[in-house]
């Protein structure tokens, strides 16, 4: 599994509800269509900071999601709401837990 974390700074605080609504309404359905999709989470950290976590089976699929998100920002006219390019961290997930304890 591969993860991509995007950190957006300088998000227009007056548009956070709009951005969040559109993520749920239009972005997540687009990401679900991608091969290897395993999950997406959006985190509002406050002070104009959002982070997202996307999970995919391969690094190529994770890279494709970055292209989808960039196009979505343009298509939804969010370039002023999200004025700064995200800081992106991407890589292989080497440890994880889904919160369910292993059965012995």
Q: Where are the domains of the chain?
A: 1-7+27-45+58-93
Q: Is 90 exposed, middle or buried (CB count within 10 Å of its CB: 0-12, 13-18, 19+)? A: middle
CA distances from 34 to 49, 52, 62 (A): 26, 17, 9
* Full-model pTM: 0.87
Task: For the chain, 104 residues long, give each residue's pLDDT as a single digit of tens.
Answer: 999 999 999 999 999 999 999 999 999 999 999 999 999 999 999 999 999 999 999 999 999 999 999 999 999 999 999 999 999 999 999 988 877 776 66
């Amino acid at each position: 599994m591969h993860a991509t974390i995007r950190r957006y700074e300088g998000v227009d605080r007056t548009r956070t509800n709009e951005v969040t609504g559109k993520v749920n309404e239009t972005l997540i359905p687009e990401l679900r269509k991608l091969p290897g999709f395993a999950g997406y989470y959006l985190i509002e950290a406050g002070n104009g900071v959002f982070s997202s976590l996307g999970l995919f089976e391969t690094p190529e699929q994770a890279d494709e999601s970055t292209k989808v998100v960039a196009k979505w920002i343009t298509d939804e006219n969010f370039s002023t709401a999200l004025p700064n390019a995200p800081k992106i961290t991407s890589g292989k997930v080497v440890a994880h837990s889904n919160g369910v304890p292993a059965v012995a």
